[in-house]
């Protein structure tokens, strides 16, 4: 299509700003290097630096595949078989075009893993949490003769993942994707201090009004800090607010914390059913891109109507359902974890080994899980990570724009003691050079 001159001018103007901004970003060294993965074998990766065209053979310490299931034969074969049975895509949503049997099998399996009876699947965490707030705060579908006129107060741990903060803040505007929001369902959003149940109690006292529907949203394990939410204390606070909903994002806790890797309830040996019986509604978000060798997400709750309504939310009914190979890979991962609970202990052992090794060399490491955020003083994390990659063949994530500057290292069951020793030695050498 040939653009008329006036459109071209406008187009040029918009792109000029984008181009200028992008150039500045690169000049400041703020845009991440793009790497292309050419081959994977366990933690051994062959990658291409797209800026320099250089090929590198590296040990991966940045993948979230903490249990090493993404490349496991059982998981790969399950995905291949599912493609043969159902094809690569479901090509529609479940609301209008039904589910594949794998969806039901996976939902049942997650419910049993989380000990929460009803589960609904999504393409990813963002869509799941958006559906959750659309459904809970605004009721997913409008009914002409039902207008409950409610106010929901959402309390969010201020370090929560952006899928939570994004869904919570957009809930203030109404149902996602609706140009004319309904006015009868009001949503207020307030942050509380990171992992601070006392602050949550204070803020609830200050902001909750009689008749409010209360929803507390938190990561179970925080993705940039590796900290664990204080579940018992949060439950105590919420026991003063009957019917409060407690949403835990289990992205980094499933398969990682708790004796059987069940996540935050398993970690604190709290039965979600007991919490439910105390008048608090536990809702969990499970994702498959970390502990399970797949991608996708699920919301579990004790309320069947709520889980059924999730299917009517825009981020369910307005998009294709989780493809069969992804559902099969997630299901096979869950089954494998059930048969091999020792994976959880191995991961914990590796994370502790790495944390101790780093501490012994004077590195400050935050958190207490498989995520190891390492403080590196005033050294720019991009430079640190680049030197590690090019001179020592170890790949870690530099973090500078979503959080304070640090290196984010992920422990995995696939790392050997030697891999971890090499990583620590490399960090020491690079620190010496750059400090
Ligand atoms: C705490 C948390 N929640 C949600 C997500 C998104 O998960 P997914 O990419 O599996 O949808 C992430 C991803 O990094 C995360 O760290």
Q: pLDDT band at 19, cuts 50/70/90?
A: confident
Look at residue 283 and tell me if it is in a domain: yes
β-strand pairing of 151-157 with 186-192: parallel
Same-domain check for residues 109 and 250? yes
Count other Cβ atoms within 10 Å, centred on residue 26: 11
* Domain containing residue 417: CATH number: 3.90.1150.10
Ligand 1 center from residue 251 Cα (angstroms): 5
Ligand 1, residue 289: give the atom nearest the CA.
10
Look at residue 384 and tell me if it is in a domain: yes
Look at residue 17 and tell me if it is in a domain: no
Q: pLDDT for 270-322, tens place per residue?
A: 999 999 999 999 999 999 999 999 999 999 999 999 999 999 998 999 999 99
Q: pLDDT band at 184, cuts 50/70/90?
A: confident
Same-domain check for residues 189 and 283? yes
Look at residue 159 and tell me if it is in a domain: yes
Contact 362, 431 (CB under 8 A): no
In short, whether 252's Cβ falls inside 6 Å of ligand 1 is yes
> What whole-number percentage of the chain has pLDDT above 70?
97
In short, whether 410's Cβ falls inside 6 Å of ligand 1 is no
Domain termination site, one of 338, 360, 380: 338
Q: pLDDT band at 185, cuts 50/70/90?
A: confident
In this predicted structure, what is the pLDDT of residue 9? 58
Look at residue 1 and tell me if it is in a domain: no
Look at residue 23 and tell me if it is in a domain: no
Same-domain check for residues 252 and 268? yes
User: Global pTM?
Assistant: 0.94
Q: What's the chain's average pLDDT? A: 94
Same-domain check for residues 373 and 416? yes
Same-domain check for residues 34 and 87? no
In short, whether 251's Cβ falls inside 6 Å of ligand 1 is yes
In short, whether 150's Cβ falls inside 6 Å of ligand 1 is no
* Domain containing residue 305: CATH number: 3.40.640.10
Q: pLDDT for 186-229, tens place per residue?
A: 999 999 999 999 999 999 999 999 999 999 999 999 999 999 99
What is the residue-wise DSSP string for 130-193? HHHHHHHHH-SS--TT-----EEEEEEETTS-HHHHHHHHHHTT-STT-SS--SSSEEEEEEE-
Ligand 1 center from residue 48 Cα (angstroms): 25
Q: pLDDT for 345-384, tens place per residue?
A: 999 999 999 999 999 999 999 999 999 999 998 899 999 9
In short, whether 382's Cβ falls inside 6 Å of ligand 1 is no
Same-domain check for residues 194 and 89? yes
**Residue 181: is its pLDDT beyond 80?**
no
In whole angstroms, give the CA distance from residue 291 to residue 345: 13
Look at residue 14 and tell me if it is in a domain: no
Contact 117, 178 (CB under 8 A): no
Report the number of distinct structural domains present in the chain: 2
Same-domain check for residues 36 and 153? no
In short, whether 287's Cβ falls inside 6 Å of ligand 1 is yes
In whole angstroms, give the CA distance from residue 302 to residue 287: 18
Same-domain check for residues 168 and 54? no
The parent domain of residue 417 ranges over 29-60+341-434
Same-domain check for residues 93 and 122? yes
Look at residue 11 and tell me if it is in a domain: no
Strands (E), 331-402: 364-365, 371-375, 394-395, 397-399
Domain termination site, one of 338, 370, 399: 338
Same-domain check for residues 40 and 112? no
Contact 221, 252 (CB under 8 A): yes
Locate 101 and state its tokens: 């049997």
- H/E stretch holding 213: strand 213-219
Same-domain check for residues 234 and 333? yes
Domain termination site, one of 316, 338, 360: 338
Same-domain check for residues 46 and 101? no
């Amino acid at each position: 299509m040939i653009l008329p001159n006036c459109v071209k001018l406008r187009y040029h103007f918009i792109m000029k700003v984008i181009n200028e901004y992008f150039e500045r970003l690169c000049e400041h060294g703020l845009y991440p290097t793009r790497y292309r993965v050419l081959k994977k074998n366990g933690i051994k990766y062959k990658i291409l630096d797209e800026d320099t065209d250089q090929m590198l053979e590296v040990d991966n310490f940045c993948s979230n595949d903490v249990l090493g299931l993404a490349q496991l034969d059982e998981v790969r074969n399950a995905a291949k078989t599912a493609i043969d049975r159902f094809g690569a895509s479901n090509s529609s949503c479940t609301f209008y075009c039904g589910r594949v049997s794998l969806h039901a099998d996976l939902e049942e399996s997650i419910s049993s893993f989380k000990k929460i009876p009803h589960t609904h699947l999504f393409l990813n965490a963002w869509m799941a949490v958006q559906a959750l707030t659309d459904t809970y705060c605004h009721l997913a579908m409008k009914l002409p003769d039902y207008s409950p006129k409610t106010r929901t107060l959402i309390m969010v741990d201020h370090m929560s993942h952006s899928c939570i903060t994004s869904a919570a803040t957009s809930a203030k505007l109404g149902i996602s994707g609706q140009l004319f929001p309904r006015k009868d369902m009001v949503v207020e959003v307030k942050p509380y201090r990171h992992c601070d149940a006392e602050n949550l109690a204070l803020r609830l006292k200050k902001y909750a009004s009689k008749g409010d529907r209360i929803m507390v949203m938190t990561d179970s394990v925080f993705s940039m800090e590796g900290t664990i939410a204080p579940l018992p204390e949060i439950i105590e606070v919420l026991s003063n607010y009957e019917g409060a909903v407690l949403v835990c994002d289990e992205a980094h806790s499933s398969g990682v914390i708790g004796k059987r890797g069940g996540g935050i309830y398993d970690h604190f040996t709290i039965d979600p059913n007991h919490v439910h019986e105390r008048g608090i509604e536990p809702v969990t978000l499970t994702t498959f891109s970390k502990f399970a060798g797949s991608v996708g997400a699920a919301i579990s709750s004790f309320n069947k109507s709520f889980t059924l309504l999730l299917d009517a939310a825009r981020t369910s009914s307005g998009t294709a359902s989780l493809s069969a190979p992804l559902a099969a890979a997630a299901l096979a991962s869950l089954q494998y974890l059930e048969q091999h609970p020792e994976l959880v202990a191995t991961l914990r052992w590796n994370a502790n080994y790495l944390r101790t090794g780093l501490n012994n060399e004077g590195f400050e490491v935050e958190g207490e899980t498989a995520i190891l955020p390492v403080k590196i003083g005033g050294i720019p994390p991009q430079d640190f990570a680049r030197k590690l990659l090019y001179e020592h063949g170890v790949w870690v994530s530099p973090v500078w724009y979503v959080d304070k500057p640090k290196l984010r290292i992920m422990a995995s069951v696939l790392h050997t003691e030697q891999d971890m020793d090499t990583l620590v030695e490399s960090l020491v050498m690079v620190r010496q050079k750059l400090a």
